[in-house]
Amino acid sequence: MSQQGRSQAGDSPRQEPGERPPGEAGPSHDVVGERLDGLAGDANYGVGERGSRAGAQEVGAEAITDGALGEREGSDLEAKSLTVPALERLKLEEPALEARALEERPTERNALEESSPEEESAEASALKGESPEAASGAQGREVPGWCSFCDRPLWSGARFCGGCGTRVGLAPALAAGSRTMDDVRMLLGFFLAAMAIAVVWTIWFQATENAFAADLGAGFSLAALTAGYGLWHRSLLAAPLRTAGFSLAGYGVVLVASVPVLLLVSAYVDLLHGAFRLHEESELAAFAGRSVLWPLFMVAVLPPLSEEVAFRGILYGGLRRSLSVGEAMFLSSFAFAMLHLSVMSLFTHLPLGAYFCWLRQRSGSVWPGVFAHACHNLGVCLLTWW
């Protein structure tokens, strides 16, 4: 029973790739997920876990071992010692709560699943307001819900769990730190693999001085890595690849916006080169004496496609499962910037990455980002030729 409660509460903010029914992977998934994200933190854990607990005697200990705590070494004893007595006390003093929770639970769950976005947020606040009536705790303190991490009852008005210090309102997925570590591994795994590709081809270029082949090799290797990673995490990509995100007018705005973005970036590069009187060879020198289609494809088509799918599709979408918008934006853009193997390009690629992430967040699709990225890279080509 507690297993059920935990999975209900845990599903909404973060869905495991394999767990989602195929029907749900429609274009609207992202929006729904986002909405549930906010909801789960505030109300869902209170509802799902309250219901799941009713009637079960050793639920405290169970929840600890089958939940996220089970993965944390050495914490079981500690958590038990504080959770079980608290629950026992609650049971002695609050038989009415469990009865009420049993009654309320099915209707609350159904209403939650079927309601529209506006109703959901209204319901969320209604639930919060209603909960204190459901139970009055020891010494006049009320119990509005349970800690999303250690399942200890919370006092009304509490901002932190008295048992483990977890902040009240934290999404269950976030409360389990191990989930965050899964996303960290995903980020670092891709980053290190992409870094290795960049290093191998840079060394290969140094050995052979064949810039054209090195560019081709690096471009296609990164595309292949992205494709492989994308297949592995295809549930993250299903929605953002399937929707266009913006209308034609939206794409027009992105096209217009790419002009000031390009001018800012090239002004920074010129300033840096001017200040240090550097004469860097153009990136397009590798394609000198070849068809103009080569630089167009290798600069303005392939990298935008693979980088957007990788950083804004897989990594940003993956990090969003356990991190906030700002954090996921920052980390995916930081990895994106550092992959360009230059510390000074951090100042252009970090904002660029954040801009593409914002497009992804705003549209729910990677395509506006691909378009903006392609416009930018094409602009760089045009500026170089001109």
Residues between 138 and 167 with contacts to another protein, criterion CB under 8 A: 138-139, 141, 149, 154-155, 157-167
CA separation for the pair 14, 171 (Å, rounded): 9
Nearest in space to 16 (alpha carbons), one of 33, 35, 40 = 33
150 or 262: CB nearest another protein:
150
Judged by CB under 8 A, the residue of 54, 63, 135, 174 near another protein is 174
The least distance separating another protein from the CB of residue 94, rounded to whole angstroms, comes to: 14
The least distance separating another protein from the CB of residue 249, rounded to whole angstroms, comes to: 28
The three-state secondary structure class of 160 is strand
Amino acid identity of residue 357, one-letter, is C
110 or 342: CB nearest another protein:
342
Residue 371 neighbours by CB under 8 Å, 6+ apart:
251, 254, 255
CA separation for the pair 355, 194 (Å, rounded): 21
CA separation for the pair 259, 26 (Å, rounded): 34
242 or 384: CB nearest another protein:
384
Stretch that binds another protein, among 56-64, 237-245, 252-260, 277-285 (CB under 8 A): 277-285
174 or 286: CB nearest another protein:
174
Question: Contact at 8 Å (CB) between 27 and 54?
Answer: no
224 or 341: CB nearest another protein:
341
Residue 142 neighbours by CB under 8 Å, 6+ apart:
131, 132, 135, 136, 155, 156
Annotate 312-325 with b (16+ C-beta within 10 A) or e (fewer).
Answer: bbbbbbbbbbbbee
**Residue 378 makes contact with another protein by CB under 8 A:** no
Q: Bridge-partner residues for 146, per DSSP?
A: 153
The least distance separating another protein from the CB of residue 252, rounded to whole angstroms, comes to: 30
- For residue 142, how many other CB atoms are within 10 A of its CB? 17
Query: What is the total count of residues that contact another protein (CB under 8 A)?
Result: 72
Residue 116 neighbours by CB under 8 Å, 6+ apart:
none
Judged by CB under 8 A, the residue of 70, 85, 106, 228 near another protein is 85
**Residue 81 makes contact with another protein by CB under 8 A:** yes
The least distance separating another protein from the CB of residue 110, rounded to whole angstroms, comes to: 25
Interaction with another protein in 244-273: which residues (CB under 8 A)?
Answer: 272
The least distance separating another protein from the CB of residue 167, rounded to whole angstroms, comes to: 6
CA separation for the pair 373, 311 (Å, rounded): 12
Paired tokens of 356: 């593409």
Judged by CB under 8 A, the residue of 113, 207, 277, 289 near another protein is 277
The label of the residue with tokens 């296609």 reads 220
Amino acid identity of residue 119, one-letter, is E
Phi, psi of 277 (to 5 degrees): 50, 45
CA separation for the pair 368, 279 (Å, rounded): 34
Rg of the chain over CA atoms, in angstroms?
26
Stretch that binds another protein, among 52-60, 107-115, 121-129, 333-341 (CB under 8 A): 333-341
DSSP string for residues in 274-292: HHTT--PPPGGGGGTTS-T
Judged by CB under 8 A, the residue of 7, 75, 115, 121 near another protein is 75
Stretch that binds another protein, among 109-117, 242-250, 326-334, 366-374 (CB under 8 A): 326-334
Interaction with another protein in 39-58: which residues (CB under 8 A)?
Answer: 41-42
**Residue 278 makes contact with another protein by CB under 8 A:** yes
CA separation for the pair 365, 351 (Å, rounded): 19
Stretch that binds another protein, among 14-22, 33-41, 113-121, 373-381 (CB under 8 A): 33-41
Interaction with another protein in 175-204: which residues (CB under 8 A)?
Answer: 175-178, 180-181, 184, 187-188, 191-192, 195, 199, 202-203
173 or 238: CB nearest another protein:
173
Stretch that binds another protein, among 17-25, 67-75, 357-365, 375-383 (CB under 8 A): 67-75
Stretch that binds another protein, among 34-42, 55-63, 115-123, 261-269 (CB under 8 A): 34-42
